[in-house]
Amino acid sequence: MNFKEELKNRTAYAEQIIRNYLPKEEGFSVKMAEAVNYSMLSGGKRLRPVFMYEVYKLFGGRGNVVEPFMAALEMIHTHSLIHDDLPALDNDPYRRGRKTTHVVYGESAAILAGDALLNYAYETAFQAFDRTDSWKPVADALKILGEKTGIMGMLGGQGVDVENDGKPLSREMLLYIYENKTSALIECAMMIGAVLAGADKEQVAVMEQIGSRIGIAFQIQDDILDVIGDSEELGKAVGSDEKNHKTTYVTLEGLEKAGEKVKILTEEAIDLLAKLPGEQEFFRELLCSLCTRRK
């Protein structure tokens, strides 16, 4: 099977897992569940659960304890997108090729749908306890999920980003923002996959380093695509950073250097991966493909 077919299969698997865990649209809170499901089913790349499963397999993971965590992480990611698009933040009307949640359901409903999704992610992750008798790896995975998405992770990075909107940023602060608002979730995906499969501390630390580099590269490529990307292909407006007077890696270093940095970080991640055991071909190709992604 070639890489593209393999990626399609793995994305379809992640998609199925996510669908299995979505809230039921019933009762008085039906509108909230609808708004949640609207954003969850709008066709994201499902990269974070694909990463999680790939690392789980890399370390010999078996069984389905990883599945609630795959869904939970995509829920946290989607919550962050709903809130990031709100009028008070980036005020973006399109995401994943569809109108954003606040445009369809109204601003207050979108704020609450984001909150609901963040909470539902934990309700979902807790279901992992029903899938195994060994509680320690699940407890360790929950700790990673909480820390990497909280003040010392994604939310912290997003907070500093929003607080400094429109202001010039030092390279150091910009990299802090990228490490947290974007890398933290990718590190989280890879570390949880490793922990649930029984990887040791050093191996989990290597996954964190790989996630850090891939996350920063991913965010720089995001900056690049905001300038040179195609809005149709991306499923969202381009030029959002310029509109919001945002300092990005591209505004600091220029397009060419930004592209080189994406390559360097990806090569570093692949070198780190080579230290680990297991079948790596698909994983390596996946990391490489992100360098040249158009969406």
Contact positions toward ligand FPP, by CB under 6 A? 44-45, 47, 80-81, 83-84, 96, 154-155, 158, 181-182, 219, 222
Q: Which residue is nearest to ligand FPP (CB)?
A: 44
- What's the closest the beta carbon of residue 90 comes to ligand FPP, in angstroms? 8
- What's the closest the beta carbon of residue 135 comes to ligand FPP, in angstroms? 29
Q: Is 223 a residue that touches Mg ion (CB under 5 A)?
A: no
How many whole angstroms separate alpha carbon 287 and alpha carbon 271? 11
What is the dihedral angle through the alpha carbons of 247, 85, 81, 83, rounded to the nearest 10 degrees? 110
Number of residues that bind Mg ion (CB under 5 A): 2
**248 Cβ neighbours under 8 A, 6+ residues apart:** 174, 223, 226, 241
- What's the closest the beta carbon of residue 221 comes to ligand FPP, in angstroms? 9
- What's the closest the beta carbon of residue 88 comes to ligand FPP, in angstroms? 10
How many whole angstroms separate alpha carbon 208 and alpha carbon 204? 6
> Binding string to Mg ion for residues 82 to 121, with x set by CB under 5 A, is what?
--x-----x-------------------------------
Q: Is 222 a residue that touches Mg ion (CB under 5 A)?
A: no
208 binds, among ligand FPP, Mg ion, none (CB under 5 to 8 A by kind): none
Q: Is 161 a residue that touches Mg ion (CB under 5 A)?
A: no
The answer to whether 216 and 183 have CB atoms below 8 angstroms apart is: yes
181 binds, among Mg ion, ligand FPP, none (CB under 5 to 8 A by kind): ligand FPP
Q: Is 187 a residue that touches Mg ion (CB under 5 A)?
A: no
